[in-house]
Structure 1
Amino acid sequence: MLSNAPPLRSVGRDPDATILPRSTWPATLAPIAQLLDHGLDLGPVTVFVGDNGVGKSTLVEAIAGAYGMGPEGGSTGSRHTTRKSESTLADHLRLNRGLGAGRGGFFLRAETMHGFFTYLEHNPGGKDPVFHERSHGESFLDLVVARSRYPGLWILDEPESALSFTGSLALLSILRDIVEARGSQVILSTHSPILASIPGAVIYEVGPWGYRPCVWKDLDLVRDWRSFLEEPERYYRQLL
């Protein structure tokens, strides 16, 4: 009988690991320090939004690494790597797993997908299409669909970089199906107000203060996009 528990309930500092000095990156980032001090509760869908450089990707990368996924993307146990650039944060985290939940998962990272697609071509393991023969956005959606039949933990880092408006809506629909119909859990880092609007998500706004829960309509991301779309000329005047 399958468990209804999510793969992850929370994540925090591993008390048995060596202490990561707060003067050492990435503990110098406020969200990472907050994670180590207070931990982080996760829902069936957890979304992180915030500006560039605040620590969103570092945070989700470390959760993926602690779960056993390769830092450049792939399934649990993936060893695909081209250049080591990830932090050591994963080594300092303890995961509170759901009782009886499966341990499978997949990490989709926008900035490393070209190399991952090449890795899949050289190491075929199923009936995947040749992703390099598809457009950037099509290959992203194809990969999610191909892997969505396997329930588990899905971690996605800024997937909107490959997607148009309609592509983002398509991914939103796929992610809803992954959670509602297939019993998976999603952790998403995004700059997209479309993807951040996934129903039922726990949304954390990430910034120099750390991370804090926020409802979609009150996100700076949403307010800024709405303001720009209503009057782009005002932003042009400020730039010029």
Structure 2
Amino acid sequence: MVTFLKSFTFPSDGAENSFFDGQKRTCFQTYYPFQVLTHRGLPEIIFEPVTILYGGNGSGKTTMLNVMAEKLRAYRDSAFNQTNFFQDYVDLCSMEAGKKRPENCYIITSDDVFDYMLNIRSLNSGIHLKRDELFQDYTQAKYAHFQMNSLEDYEELKKHNAAKRLSQSKFVGARLPDNVREYSNGESAYLYFTEKIKENGLYLLDEPENSLSPQRQMELTQFLLDSARFYGCQFIISTHSPFLLSLKGARIYDLDASPMQVRKWTELENVKIYHEFFCVHEKEFS
């Protein structure tokens, strides 16, 4: 399994203070992302082929991903909010790359997946409109009296004969765009990952479980594991999902701990809560 990115170092408390000492700008209400991660107590992140950032809302895992993505100059489909000090912070970071460079480097966020789902939904809407039009065409062609008067009526004759010969579903299906099907939100979200993730790539995933059912989360977990094992991909993932947290061989950073700790997935508070819940209700599954 490959490791394109070996380590990433965030500015220490001393480095941040030195930066502020040299600033003469005083008109800003926020210095984000400064002063967000220093209290974690572990400024350097060591990576495995799969590395997971775990923590509650406000723990800084999305900030870490965005900072790393900017340092890596990773591609992204959706813009994100930056402050006037974001690039200053990125410049203070350092990283150690592996011997091999990734062919693709992407950050995938919930906004990217949501936008893709909206596009699919728009396509589905277009399919519905086209289907309704074809239903009307079928009814009119099947029951209307038709007589061909010239070559200009040839296409109408073919439609009329097809309506007489075919059932409504076959008539409509044959005239919808080829290779087009409708997708649910969960299918669309899963499809986005399978289309975006290619061989020999470094991918930063921000809560990829959003919009995915438990079944789809399990499928995504297996897809990511296979991509890391067999297709030379490296993943850095922020997640709460117990399915993704269980990724075999993943290095997990618990951002809820102070200082930040590397933990097994079964030691994480979120996973323990799920375990305790199902233990309480175990007899109901018998």
TM above 0.5, yes or no, is yes
The 1:36/1:213 distance shift into structure 2, 3 A limit, reads closer
Query: What is residue 11 of structure 1 aligned with on the other side?
Result: 8
Residues 1:92 and 2:92 are matched in the alignment: yes
Higher Cα Rg: structure 1 or 2?
Answer: 2
How high is the TM-score relative to the length of structure 1? 0.74
Residues 1:44 and 2:49 are matched in the alignment: yes
Q: How does 1:1-240 map to 2 (within 5 A)?
A: 5-13=2-10, 21=20, 24-29=31-36, 32-33=37-38, 38-70=43-75, 73-74=76-77, 80-81=78-79, 84-85=81-82, 88=86, 89-115=89-115, 134-207=183-256, 209-231=258-280
The unaligned stretches of length 5 or more in structure 2 are: 22-29, 121-178, 282-286
Q: Would the aligned equivalents of 1:54 and 1:208 in 2 still touch at CA under 8 Å?
A: no
Looking at structure 1, the residues matched to 39 and 103 of structure 2 have their Cα atoms a distance apart, in angstroms, of: 26
Secondary structure class of the residue paired with 2:200: coil
Residues 169-200 of structure 1 show CA distances to partners (whole Å, capped at 9, x for unaligned) of 01001101110011110111001111100000
Q: RMSD in angstroms over aligned alpha carbons?
A: 3.3
Residues 202-230 of structure 1 show CA distances to partners (whole Å, capped at 9, x for unaligned) of 01111262421001111111111112333
Moved more, 220-229 or 162-171: 220-229
Moved more, 53-62 or 201-210: 201-210
- Give the number of equivalent residue pairs: 209
The unaligned stretches of length 5 or more in structure 1 are: 75-79, 121-128, 233-240
Secondary structure class of the residue paired with 2:54: strand
Report which of the two has the higher share of strand: 1
How high is the TM-score relative to the length of structure 2? 0.63
Moved more, 165-174 or 220-229: 220-229
Letter in 1 for 2:105: G
Q: Would the aligned equivalents of 2:42 and 2:260 in 1 still touch at CA under 8 Å?
A: no
The 1:57/1:96 distance shift into structure 2, 3 A limit, reads same
